[in-house]
Amino acid sequence: MADAQVATVSNELPETDNLAIGFFKEIILDQNCRDLIERYCKLPSDQVVPHLYTVREKAWKVFPWPCVGMWSFVVPTVNTLPQYSSIISRAKEGGQRILDLGCALGQDVRQMIDDGVPDHLVYGVELEAGFIDLGYDLFLDRDTLKSQFISADVLEKSGPNPELAAWNGKIDIIYNGRFLHCFSRDDGLVVAMRMTKLLSNRSGSVIVGECLGGRIDREVVAPIGKLHLYSVESFKEMWTQAAEKTKVKFKVDVKAQSAGQAQMAHFGGDVVSLVFWVERL
């Protein structure tokens, strides 16, 4: 997204709902998220909502993503994957390392830890250092969490990032939530190739997640920049290209599901959520 971050959205918190930029003034908080915050943060029930308003205001100043505006920065998605229990047991019982790429404030990192993954096995990469920092404020774990986070541009447009390079070949499971649509088609290929480099070379290591897609592959323009909606076919083609370029063989499983993010409806009625599992053979 680095190129596409043409911020036409102000960092000042809007006063009213604004669907066009992905902003809801009033909090949206389902019971599972509330439970995670209360349990993980050990926060009394009546303090959860004020706490989230305070963090959201700061997060909007870092970057006004719709995931901040629509409150999804508190909503984990990793636990909605069909393979979630196997991901958890691969880490818990097999000691495998999980990276959340584009982790924002790290709600999926904390969800996996809450579900029993040792914190030192979960890693995060995020462009905005301010989001990583706010994640500690959100989850009240600055002094206790052992997970490592790197603030990095996965596209490495200003040159290789030594911190990221230190993780090359070390990650068994790379998770992306609502991430791959944030890049142009060309940059998406760069991201796929960079993820391949991070991935362990043992067979079965996997890149898993979900992103917005469409029945028809296309670029769309959002207030925060351009997004790319893959179709199931174009998503597979992109991975075929990444496999050719990196000389790594993958089995690609991708399914279109109905998109939960109603705010994206203005991109067209065919917008879907693509759920993928790209496994190294």
Ligand X SMILES: C[S@@+](CC[C@H](N)C(=O)[O-])C[C@H]1O[C@@H](n2cnc3c(N)ncnc32)[C@H](O)[C@@H]1O
1 binds ligand X (CB under 6 A): yes
171 binds ligand X (CB under 6 A): no
Q: Which of 71, 131, 139, 250 binds ligand X (CB under 6 A)?
A: 131
Q: How many residues in the chain? A: 281
- Choice between 170 and 249, CB closer to ligand X: 170
Continuous H helices in 63-106: 66-69, 84-92
- Choice between 103 and 242, CB closer to ligand X: 103
Measured from the CB of residue 281, what is the shortest distance to ligand X in angstroms?
A: 27
Q: 170-207 burial string, b = 16+ CB within 10 Å, else e?
A: ebbbbbbbbbbbbbbeebbbbbbebbbebbbeeeebbb
167 binds ligand X (CB under 6 A): no
72 binds ligand X (CB under 6 A): yes
Q: Which of 127, 134, 138, 274 binds ligand X (CB under 6 A)?
A: 127
CA 50 – CA 207 distance, rounded (Å):
36
- Provide the β-strand partners of residue 223: none
Residue 258, CA distances (Å) to 207, 220, 263 in order = 21, 18, 13
Gyration radius of the chain over CA positions: 18
Measured from the CB of residue 46, what is the shortest distance to ligand X in angstroms?
A: 25
Q: Which of 114, 115, 128, 137 binds ligand X (CB under 6 A)?
A: 128
120, 146 contact by CB (below 8 A): yes
245, 188 contact by CB (below 8 A): no
Measured from the CB of residue 155, what is the shortest distance to ligand X in angstroms?
A: 5
Considering only residues 179-218, where is the footprint of ligand X by CB under 6 A?
A: 179, 182
67 binds ligand X (CB under 6 A): yes
177 binds ligand X (CB under 6 A): yes
Measured from the CB of residue 279, what is the shortest distance to ligand X in angstroms?
A: 21
Considering only residues 77-116, where is the footprint of ligand X by CB under 6 A?
A: 77, 102-104
Would you state the structure tokens that stand for residue 212, as one six-digit string? 């917005």
Question: Using CB under 6 A as the criterion, which residues of the chain lie in contact with ligand X when the complex forms?
Answer: 1-2, 63, 65, 67, 72-73, 77, 102-104, 125-128, 131, 153-155, 177-179, 182
